[in-house]
Amino acid sequence: VRLTSGTGACEGTVEVYSEGRWGTVCSNMWDIPDAKVVCKELGCGSAVSAPHSITQVGAFLLNNVRCHGNESHLWQCESDRWDREDCKSESDALIVCSDAMKLRLGEAITPCAGVVDVYYRGTWGTVCSQLWDLKDAAVVCKQLGCGEPEAAPSKSRYGRAGGSIWLDRVQCTGNESFLWECQAETLGHHECNHWMAAAVVCKDSIKLTLLNGSSPCAGRLEEKTGIIQGTISHTALDMHGAEVICQQLHCGSVASIKRKKYFGKGAGLVWNNKFSCSGSEDFLWQCNYTVRDAFRLDHSSDVGFFCSKHRAPRLVGGADSCSGRVEIQYGETWGAVCDRNWDIHDADVVCRQLKCGFALPTPGGASFGEGAGPIWGDRVDCQGNESILWECPFTPQGPQNCTHKNTAAVICSGHCGPRLVDGESKCSGRVEILYGNTWGSVCDQYLDLEDANVICEHLSCGVAVSVLRGAHFGTGDGPMWRDSFHCRGSESRLWECPTTWDQQSCRNNNTAGVICSGENWQLRLLNGGSRCDGRLEVFYNGIWGRVLDDSWDLNDANVVCRQLDCGSALQAYNSSQYGHGAGPVWLNGVECLGNESALHHCKRLPTGQSDARDGWDVGILCSEHLKLRLVGRGGHCSGRVEVYYNGSWGTVCDDQWDLSDAEVVCKQLGCGHAITATTLAVFGEGTGPVWLDDMQCRGNESLLWECPLVEWGQHNCKHREDAGVVCSEFKELKLVSDQHDCAGRVEVFYNGTWGSVCSNNVKEGTIRVICQQMGCGHTGTLDKQFGEEGSGPIWLDGLNCLGYESVLWQCPSLPWGQSKCTQGEVAQLACQEHLEVRLAGGDSECSGRVEVRYNGSWGTVCDESWDLNAASVVCRQLDCGSAVAVVSDAGFGDGSGPVWLDEVHCRGSESLLIHCDLFGGVRDCGHKEDAGVVC
């Protein structure tokens, strides 16, 4: 027996030799068992397929072959007599044996990760990703000697146009030795396109590790492919690629990238392929990449990372996750930090890493209680501008004479912790807020159901059932805070809500109380414009989870709207326009009649017996979804008027717009009275629909849509006619001088007028709040060098900020406009961290080496990461137009003094360099790398 007319010895037309001549075999009854015998006889492995051909190479010698498959030779099988030539189908038997097929991974960066390519009938082709999963990938990885599968990407980014598609709907058990032994469509038959190529990532493809960083989540990046090991060049990866690597290593997100041997010099080859990731990939090799001078030997460009889970600190024993005793983790063990060398700079870094604002002065001596376990940190020596704690010099093992009575603690500015007091459980009671070390109650005039929802979420108590007024849970012993929260209801922490500070007094018998559900089957809507539209989530077993349904309809949505006191349903979305949720799937396959009192009373699948593949997140738009906001000025009480209606934010036309209309807006938003009703898009042109036109409010309405109005969406306006408002409670802060934006006379805009601030009683806490609010650092000094005292009223006197406030008007003071200020007492100050900027070494004041003044000294900026966005900010700050060019490698000459900044990351829209993401603590830059700018 032999195979002819194929592309090799194991593929082709079957021929047999008998009585001095070669002839073919008729394909009548020809099948895989017959083909197996031939493949075995020829030493070609097993049979893959047994097709037929109409080529008729020669006379038929065999017909109706009937093998069991275990025979050693074809002539041991049953068949009709030799020389019979009545083959009715007029076709020859063909064979493709397994040894004629090949497997490889193409379009890949390693031999063990990439698109699955199959060689069949002389041509390489792909595998369709329909039904492709880890069991299929397991067979491929095993067949290629690449170990176990890591991933089975479908709709692969490696796919390419053109060529054959050989396999489709592959369904392996995982035990097969060859991919073509798996169940699949007939070879060459498919319903696929070339951008649905199946791929595999095998565990032996690339092994990534972070070395020399004292934990698995920090260090120099090294990779190993097969027997080749090396490092990766810093030019190969950006922040998105670093994000993928940290996620792949189960180390959280990227905190910072370190270049130029920060973690020591590697060995072996330096990988130089350029990876282009979006940041959402599961593995680095799923990113697009560009092959270039692929390997180098110069390790001066080795890259490393700090990932967020690199012994991430936590705060324990405080009111929330932003205050408490500092604990850090080594391996699986949490331990405290000795407070002997702990200072405000170290605390600032912890607050920044935990996204909790900045650090407030904190008493030592285990002020949040004594911990347990080891005391890890003996000496932490941060400058205060590091992005994570582990960028600071750090001695990990504590001394024997530091006990848990001397552990470091932190209170961050963003902690603003709520609690519920004197209720029947931890989920009901009088609302109290912790500022600094003081608990105080909240005025019931300024707390609504959306605010209460966030408090309940903050305390893991479900959703708000009701807000109780009139000191229902008592008056409390602490002060009455005058915060006015403006939550949407979907925030997870109270400090995420916009807040204003009202100076009007509130009596103790007006304390606010909240009752949270604390129960299963509570509902909320997220990612919409109000609490009455968005993606539906359910509270069950203490966790918010998803609702999935492919047949979600208005009957189901009506039950939700009624349960949330949001009217009736206008829209029911079953492939949610509000984004996909996270967490467990609590409800699936819901079928409501529409008259049920609660969603969980509807017919549904049993809880927990579904997963995220069973359907889509559902969304709802209820009739009571209306919402109002002011946009374009900054702050809550001034800007373009925008209304949320029918699922979209839109504007109001300025036809007939006047102070009576503006008065209703200001009152509805809790912003006092109207100062100005603006027209002609003073606050910029909006987008979306123009919802309202020809407003005719009397001024005493509670809501804008209670005014006489024409039908929603009917208008004759363009966005250049968008209406706006300035309310009396709109406040702004500025520092007035001819020198720069971070020093000068302190002025506040209030009640439509700029006025001054008295320096009486102004101490470090007040200066800190002013500098922080201006984006000018956290410290400063009173300074009388800025000339005139200004005109207008003196708005604030007796300021006594504690330092944790986010804006100046949250601080205790005399009422607005009441002052005991005398001549010469108007506040003027200079923030020490204002980063004064200049250009030196160029041919004009608008080109040269970038120099910044910090802590009284001029220094330079490292050119690593310095780009046109950062250059644009410098040019704008210096009033030098826009950036034309970026100059690196000390193109304007070597500077002197410290290199103050490294790894500057700007969006390009910032008004000051200090508003960009800045990294200090430069360890790897000299003046040969000073950055420059041409404006």
Partners of 60 in beta bridges: 24
> pLDDT-derived band of residue 717, with 50, 70 and 90 as boundaries?
very high
pLDDT of residue 920: 47
pLDDT band, very low/low/confident/very high, at 418 (cuts 50, 70, 90): confident
- Residue 423, phi then psi, degrees to nearest 5: -95, -170
Element (H, E) at 241: helix 239-248
Q: What percent of the chain has pLDDT over 90?
A: 20
Residue 304, both tokens: 């490393």
* Token pair recorded at residue 124: 């390489």
Token pair belonging to 56 = 């008729």
pLDDT of residue 9: 77
User: What is 65-94 written as a DSSP string?
Assistant: -B--S--SSGGGSB-PPTT----TT--EEE
CATH architecture, range 418-516: Roll (3.10)
Residue 236 pLDDT greater than 50, yes or no: yes
Instruction: Look up the CATH number of domain 522-622.
Output: 3.10.250.10
Token reading at 545: 């989870």
| CATH code for the domain defined by 2-98 | 3.10.250.10
Distances (CA, A) of 293 to 227, 236, 277, 290: 20, 11, 19, 10
Q: 134 to each of 109, 150, 171, 515, 806, how far by Cα in Å?
A: 20, 8, 10, 48, 51
In whole angstroms, give the CA distance from residue 821 to residue 819. Answer: 5
> What's the fold here for domain 836-934?
Mac-2 Binding Protein (3.10.250)
Q: Which two tokens stand for residue 927?
A: 């003046």
Task: State yes or no: pLDDT of 415 exceeds 70.
Answer: no
What is the rounded average pLDDT for all residues in the chain? 81
Helices of type H across 627-684: 659-668
Distances (CA, A) of 667 to 529, 628, 715, 724, 725: 20, 11, 25, 14, 11
Name the DSSP class of 171.
Answer: B
Helix or strand or coil: residue 536? Answer: strand
DSSP state of 862: B
Neighbours of 333 (CB within 10 A): 10
CA-based end-to-end distance of the chain: 82
pLDDT above 90 for 677? yes
Q: What type of residue sits at position 104? A: R
Q: What is the pLDDT of residue 855?
A: 58
The listed range with the strongest mean pLDDT (114-123, 381-390, 540-549, 585-594) is 585-594
Judge whether 727 and 737 are in contact, CB under 8 Å: no
Q: What is the Cα–Cα distance from 863 to 932, expressed in whole angstroms?
A: 8
784-827 pLDDT, tens digit per residue, is 777 677 788 999 999 988 776 778 887 888 888 998 888 788 99
Please, which residues bridge with residue 816 across strands?
none
User: Which has the closest alpha carbon to 671: 679, 682, 663?
Assistant: 663
| CA–CA separation, 524 and 563 (whole Å) | 10
**Residue range 240-261, pLDDT digits in tens:** 888 888 877 777 777 777 776 7
If pLDDT is split at 50, 70 and 90, which confidence band does 158 have?
Answer: very low
Domain boundaries for CATH 3.10.250.10 within the chain: 2-98, 101-202, 207-307, 312-412, 418-516, 522-622, 627-727, 731-832, 836-934
Split at pLDDT 50, 70, 90, the class of 727 is very high
- pLDDT for residue 680 is more than 70: yes
Lowest mean pLDDT among 92-96, 100-104, 755-759, 922-926: 922-926
Write down the CATH number for the domain with range 627-727: 3.10.250.10
Q: Residue 860 in 3-state DSSP? A: strand
In this structure, are residues 93 and 14 in contact, taking their beta carbons and an 8 Å threshold? yes
- Provide the 10 A C-beta neighbour count for residue 387: 19
- Of 775 and 197, the structure prediction assigns the larger pLDDT to 197
Dihedral angle of Cα 853, 859, 865, 870, to the nearest 10 degrees: 30
Which pLDDT value is given to residue 577?
76
Highest mean pLDDT among 188-192, 438-442, 883-887: 883-887
pLDDT at 227: 41
How far, in Å, CA of 97 to CA of 135, rounded? 23
Give the strand pairing for 323-330 and 828-831: unpaired
Burial of 43 per CB tally in 10 Å (0-12, 13-18, 19+): exposed
Share of the chain above pLDDT 70, in %: 83
Half-sphere exposure of 55 (CA within 13 A, CB side): 17
CATH topology of domain 312-412: Mac-2 Binding Protein (3.10.250)
Q: What is the pLDDT of residue 225?
A: 56
Identify the pLDDT of residue 368: 80
In tens, the pLDDT along 281-325 reads: 777 766 776 655 444 556 667 888 877 665 568 888 876 678 888
Q: From 578, 570, 581, 525, select the one nearest 548 (Cα to Cα).
A: 581
Q: Is 577 exposed, middle or buried (0-12, 13-18, 19+ CB in 10 A)?
A: middle
Ranges 57-61, 824-828, 925-929: which has the least confidence: 57-61
- Cβ atoms of 524 and 531 closer than 8 Å: yes
Regarding the domain delimited by 101-202, which CATH topology (the fold level of the hierarchy) does it fall under?
Mac-2 Binding Protein (3.10.250)
pLDDT band for position 652 (50/70/90)?
very high
The tens digit of pLDDT for each residue in 346-388 reads 888 888 777 777 777 666 667 787 877 777 666 777 877 777 7
* 679 close to 662: Cβ distance less than 8 angstroms: no
The rounded distance, in Å, linking the Cα atoms of 469 and 431 is 11
| Nearest-angstrom CA–CA distance, 797 and 817 | 8
Cα 619 from Cα 570, distance rounded (Å): 11
φ, ψ of residue 363 to 5 degrees: the values are -70, 150
Helix (H, G, I), strand (E, B) or coil at 325: strand
pLDDT band at 82 (very low <50, low <70, confident <90, very high): low
pLDDT value for 750? 92
- Dist. CA 283–CA 639, nearest whole Å: 44
Give the contacts of 751 (CB within 8 A, at least 6 positions apart).
Answer: 672, 675, 728, 816
Contacts of 629 (CB under 8 A, 6+ apart): 639, 642, 644, 649, 669
Distance CA 726, CA 21 (A): 103
Phi, psi of 794 (to 5 degrees): -95, 105
Contact 797, 758 (CB under 8 A): yes
Closest CA to 462 of 512, 412, 395, 520: 520
> What is the per-residue pLDDT for 55?
55
Average pLDDT over residues 617-643: 88
Give the model's pLDDT for residue 226. Answer: 47
pTM (predicted TM-score): 0.48
Mean pLDDT calculated for residue range 544-551: 86
Kindly report the CATH number that applies to the domain delimited by 731-832.
Answer: 3.10.250.10
pLDDT tens readout for residues 182-193: 888 877 788 887
From residue 228, how far is each of 107, 268, 270, 407, 441 by CA, in Å? 19, 8, 11, 46, 64
What confidence tier does 678 reach under pLDDT thresholds 50, 70, 90? very high
Give the 3-state secondary structure percentages of the chain, helix then strand then coil, rounded to 5. 15, 35, 50
Mean pLDDT of 584-596: 88
pLDDT for residue 921: 45
CATH superfamily of 207-307: SRCR-like domain (3.10.250.10)
